Amino acid sequence: MSTVVCVGTGPLAIGDVVAVARHDARVEIDDQAREAVETSRAIIDALAADTAPHYGISTGFGALASTFIAGEQRAQLQRSLVRSHAAGSGPEVEREVIRSLMLLRISTLLTGRTGIRLATVESYVALLNAGITPIVREYGSLGCSGDLAPLAHCALALMGEGEVRDANGVAMAAADALKAERIEPVVLAEKEGLALINGTDGMLGQLSLAIHDLRMLLTSADIAVAMSVEALLGTDAVFAADLQALRPQHGQALSASNLRAMLAGSPIVESHRPSTHTVVQDAYSLRCSPQVHGAARDTVDHAELVAGRELASAVDNPVVTVDGRVESNGNFHGAPVAYVLDFLAIVVADVASMSERRTDRMLDPARSHGLPAFLAHDAGVDSGLMIAQYTAAGIVSELKRLAVPSSVDSIPSSAMQEDHVSMGWAGARKLRTAIDGLSRVVAIEVMTASRALDLRAPLKPSAGSAAVVDLVRGEVEGPGPDRFLSPEIEAVASLVRRGAVRDAAESRLGPLN
């Protein structure tokens, strides 16, 4: 992971967003970007001196766009814009989300298309590099014009106002945090208020983090499938490359390849090849997992395509064009990002739903091919993992609700000037919750399959599955009498969430898809 991210006039990568948001990579400004910023600012300064009104430079905003503002009032205009728009409410938004938002706003500012002053964007970079995180509240963004309220909270901190957390997570007044880091509060000039708050950076930052997380989680979900196939005495024959090639879906092929790698050389699978039990075909939750997980991968690919385009965008209104015009536009509308955020929430719910069905199957003696009821030590006295499945089912039910799209729920604002909005921020917030839920559902399957594989002894699982069982056993005891289950679920969920389950399998098998 990069420790320095150099931001220029071109796009950032998703890996850059992750490096800064999660791992505190330092941000540096490219020299070409400095020149582009100064060139566009000269255009804004010339228009500011014009007696004719220009939107966002010498006028009000939104429904007040036709109101001319005299020169001596324009600094107050910018302050008022930021203060009034920093109107969020509710719980604090996570640090990594705010850092991703700040980075992406810096990226747009450095395209040279917004008219920001170089000194202002340098102060923004200093704020981010100092680890100062503005306190942003959960509710306030409608996703058009972009993420106004969250971005305004960040701009407010840049002005030395509002609330922040320092690098140690201590809440304090922004003025105190800036003073401690010797950062001078910014006095905004013409156009700068708009440039700081008019963008899709909040929803895009969360989309970037989600794509990164889902790629890891879908590999982990494939690993869980393979472990469940072994635990349920299933077959690997359906994952053969020639069968998968009959339906040439790209993601499906990748998922099936993972399953073949995980199940290769499995003594458990070999123990019933040719099959000696009476099941002719495995259940869909086993047999069709490459089709579902593959479709999920293809959806993530589509989301990454959209994210890549947005990462290459200069979203502001008005915008300074390449040939020097200052034009109003509608590029701040979050629809492209909002749609894929909703699409990914559907994918997450479906992958989790399939995982929960496999967990349930391992606990049911009528369908588990010889495993004890609920994998209990003494069924009747012990409940085993019965209620772990309840937990997974409860999460899946919530994920289905979170899969309802936000992007169709437009609520007009600004005296009907903004009469159609994207609700992309809401889509991003529910997707983050959904991804957390998926990691827990997959963890419960991994925990259940690990116990089931232990109970198949003396038969041994594949090398990949054995590595994951060993990892789990480092956190959670094996089969035995009932014990306090919640800490065990949380421990395995942590392993899944930080990629340790994937890493354990890859330590034996090499890289998986």
Tell me the residue type at 226. Answer: A
Cα 211 from Cα 18, distance rounded (Å): 10
Q: Which two tokens stand for residue 262?
A: 């995980």
Beta strands in 228-382 (DSSP E): 319-320, 326-327
Residue 139 falls in the annotated catalytic set: no
Catalytic residue among 55, 139, 284, 390: 55
**DSSP states of 411-443:** --BTTTTB-----HHHHHHHHHHHHHHHHHHHH
* Sign of the torsion angle spanned by Cα atoms 84, 89, 95, 96: negative
Q: If we measure between CA atoms, which residue out of 284, 221, 208 comes closest to residue 254? A: 221
How do 326-327 and 89-92 pair as beta strands? unpaired
Dihedral angle at the C-alpha atoms of 171, 176, 180, 181, nearest 10 degrees? Answer: 80
Give the single-character DSSP code of 79: H
Token look-up 């395509």 returns: 305
SS3 (DSSP) at 259? helix
233: left (phi over 0), alpha (psi -120 to 50) or beta: left
Burial of 383 (0-12, 13-18, 19+ CB in 10 A): middle
Q: Which two tokens stand for residue 400?
A: 């289905």
Q: Which two tokens stand for residue 55?
A: 């939107």
Cα 153 from Cα 176, distance rounded (Å): 16
* Rg of the chain over all Cα atoms, to the nearest angstrom: 26
173: left (phi over 0), alpha (psi -120 to 50) or beta: beta
Residues 279 and 231 sit within 8 Å (Cβ to Cβ): no
Dihedral angle at the C-alpha atoms of 82, 87, 91, 94, nearest 10 degrees? Answer: -30
| Residues designated catalytic | 55
